[in-house]
Structure 1
Amino acid sequence: MKPVKYILSAAAFSFLAASLFAATAPAQADDSILSEVRIGAMDHEASLFRDEVKEDGLDINGEVLFDSPDWLDWAGAPRPHIGVTAATKSDSASFAYTGLSWDWNFWGPLFVEGALGAALHNGETGLSSTENEMGCAWAFHESGSLGYMMGQGHRLMLTVEHFSNAGLCDLNEGVTNVGMRYGYRF
């Protein structure tokens, strides 16, 4: 296992522990900027868009979303987020990411969400026959979720996320994960 993967794994589990603590804490004060915490499990490289899969396994996902600042009202009031998708297999890439999330309630307790941002990963950037070739350490992060509000603050989401450099580097195999996430919205 690469040293960077140890660091990302430790950071991811610390982040997830903090997220779980925040989710069980009493309601936040009115001046809090914290909007929601999430935790989930993702199928690493779920082969939705390709026949051959070089990486697989279970990923642990944790994410913190913040209240939308007033200056983002012009863009539909997206919520800024930070997150980690940590691979549990040593030969699969882990990601730390940040960006903006938009969600819309469309029918009763159902909602959809879209997110765009940037990510940093510890995966392969050169040619590899066993790992996805990401091309460069920085990537774009996009995700989409279909969710259900289960009651006072509790949310369950089916999520698809994709990491890719969009052809900005020579290699660009990317990684697509699919999974379930639980969120608690304050």
Structure 2
Amino acid sequence: MRKTIMSGLAAAALATGAAQAQISEFRLGVVAHDLARNIEDGVQISGQIVFDSPDFLAPVWSPRPYLYGSFNSAGNTNLGSAGFLWTGNFSERWSVDGGFGVAYHDGVRDVSQLPPSDPDRIRLANSRALLGSRFLFHTQLGLDYAVTPSVAVGVYYEHFSNGQILGQGRNQGLDEIGARISWRFGR
């Protein structure tokens, strides 16, 4: 967990310093964890910092860079990611966003290296998602309602998976759905 937090802080410092980007939004959420298989216990507490889109991203519809962290309440898989969000408003108060990024996790990759009768192999195979790779793709889709110009509430779905590209073998992935509150700064 310490590695995940330190990696996230380093990525945040690098992204902020390199791009000298303004923060456009901060999101705090509660996420139902591992919905597809329901093998990992706990809920996730998530935080996301969304930056203004830099000018050089205008040719690809001005996505906003983000940093994301998700921490499990039962000590299972924690995740950190960085990527891009594309946001569209379809009314004065309603917006939808979709995102794509790369995540790093501290969960279980695989148990095939352990003997079949090993108690740890059996316990992990029955209680943890086997993600196959330390790095995963992170996709997300969200719907938000602006309560005020600076506060929004929303729901979102996210999926973490190696896609058999970032890892070989296991790829159980994680599907999650959550609710969030967002504080918007000058958007």
- Aligning the two structures, in what range does the TM-score lie when normalised by the shorter sequence? 0.7 to 0.9
Question: What's the TM-score once normalised by structure 2's chain length?
Answer: 0.79
Q: Give a deviation string over 1:19-61, Cα, whole Å, max 9, x none.
A: xxxxxxxxxxxx97111111010011123xxxx4211321000
Distance change (3 Å), C-alpha of 1:32 and 1:11: closer
Give the Cα separation in 1 of the matches to 2:48 and 2:7. Answer: 12
Task: Give the count of matched residue pairs.
Answer: 160
Give the Cα separation in 2 of the matches to 1:104 and 1:62. Answer: 21
SS in 2 for 1:124: coil
Q: How does 1:1-186 map to 2 (within 5 A)?
A: 5-6=1-2, 8=4, 33-47=22-36, 52-90=37-75, 92-127=76-111, 128-129=124-125, 130-168=127-165, 169=167, 170-186=169-185
Kept in 2, the 8 Å contact 1:112–1:144? The answer is: yes
Give the Cα separation in 1 of the matches to 2:38 and 2:73. Answer: 16
Kept in 2, the 8 Å contact 1:109–1:149? The answer is: yes
Give the Cα separation in 2 of the matches to 1:32 and 1:175. Answer: 30
Task: Name the residue aligned to 2:119.
Answer: none
SS in 1 for 2:90: strand
Distance change (3 Å), C-alpha of 1:89 and 1:104: same
Task: Name the residue aligned to 1:21.
Answer: none
C-alpha RMSD of the superposition: 2.0
Deviation at 1:10, TM superposition (A): 8.9
SS in 2 for 1:107: coil
Deviation at 1:107, TM superposition (A): 2.4
Gaps of 5+ in 1: 15-30
| Misfit runs of 4+, over 3 Å | 6-12
Query: Looking at CA atoms only, which structure, 1 or 2, has the larger radius of gyration?
Result: 2
SS in 1 for 2:74: coil
Give the Cα separation in 2 of the matches to 1:107 and 1:185. Answer: 17
Deviation at 1:9, TM superposition (A): 6.6
SS in 1 for 2:164: coil
Give the Cα separation in 1 of the matches to 2:151 and 2:21. Answer: 18
Question: What's the TM-score once normalised by structure 1's chain length?
Answer: 0.80
Distance change (3 Å), C-alpha of 1:133 and 1:32: closer
